[in-house]
Amino acid sequence: MADPDAERQDGAAAFPPSVLLLAPLLQMMAAKTLYAAAELGIADLLATGPRSTGELAERTGTDAPSLRRLLHALTGQGILTETGTGTDRYALTESGQPLRTDAPDSIRSTLLMACGPETSRSWDRLVPSLRTGTPGWDLAHGMSWTEYYARNPGRAAIFNRSQAEHTRDAAPGILAAADFGRFREVADIGGGDGTLLTHILRAHDDLRGVLFDVRTGLAGADATLAAAGVGERCRVVAGDFFGEVPDGADAYLLKEILHDWDDEQSMAILRSVRAAIPPGGRLLLVERTLPDRPVAGFDETHWYLRDLLMLVVTGGRERTENEFRLLLKSAGFNADRFSDPFPPFGYRLIEALPA
């Protein structure tokens, strides 16, 4: 039997660059179909069993012939399956289960946030953003992403759930990379609804936690902590990490916080932590790092696209290892350890000590 990888390589080589460059357009269209399915709640409607196009159209308020075309596209992606030849009844496949709101591995809110109108409009302003250095989000909405979510609690709830979904999948790798058992109290700065902190506290019965975020970010935190059975071991504190953060913890954890901000803002956050951390405390950053020089390849392309996403949405940036070292040093920390990238998202754990 021929090597499938070799066959793919040979097949790819048969296509000219002009054709290969069109592949991302199909990926974009596929993402939009998943967004439409999430927005319409198709997976939720199929959670109890197959339904016909007519039933789904009635429940979603859509045009049945048009909806059938979406169902065909989802079937082609392996998200749905037709339950019999020509039956016009569709069921959710195993691959489609994470589109359900109540699935333990749900990514519905992630799709609603990442492919929704707020972010899409921001990407539409990429060229003006490149020309001015102003985030595309600000150009599209007339305000920053933090201001927008503060004014739109319904959309903020979707954003918060998307962050919890992503953190849920990242948590096992973070726990494996960091030895939280050596600490007495961990402060999760910008920790949202507490998804990451609940994983940490459940893994270490003697550990106490501090969950810190703005009030809108903390929505749902009490319920998350209570459901995990760790509420009595965790203080929930609302505040602004540009001003000050709670003191008294011996470890300060910031997961994917600094990449949301430019160097000046990131330094302000780090200096707030530096003012609160005790002499023997540890700063733990969970971030991706860019290669020192741009190189071609799937993984590297992914990181560079994430960097552009930060430009478009938040005005932040992804950084190289050396850029993190310089940023930490400027804020009064010495970088102590950079872990290897760990699955599933390629994060690294960066440990630093007060200088």
Catalytic residues, by residue number, are: 259
- Structure token digits, residue 184: 């007495």
Task: Give dist(CA 285, CA 215) in Å, integer.
Answer: 22
Alpha helices by DSSP H, 85-152? 108-114, 117-123, 126-132, 136-141, 145-151
List CB contacts of 291: < 8 A, sequence separation 6 or more.
Answer: 300, 303, 320
Task: Give dist(CA 72, CA 78) in Å, integer.
Answer: 10
- The CA-based diameter of the chain, rounded to the nearest angstrom, is 70
Half-sphere exposure of 123 (CA within 13 A, CB side): 14
- Other C-beta atoms lying within 10 Å of the C-beta of residue 173: 19
Residues 283/288/292/298 CA torsion (nearest 10 deg): 170
Helix (H) or strand (E) holding 335: strand 333-338
Are the beta carbons of 1 and 20 closer than 8 angstroms? no
- Integer CA distances (angstroms), 84 to 59, 211, 249, in order: 22, 50, 59
Are the beta carbons of 158 and 152 closer than 8 angstroms? no
Decide the pairing of beta strands 51-52 and 89-92. antiparallel
Alpha-carbon radius of gyration of the chain: 22
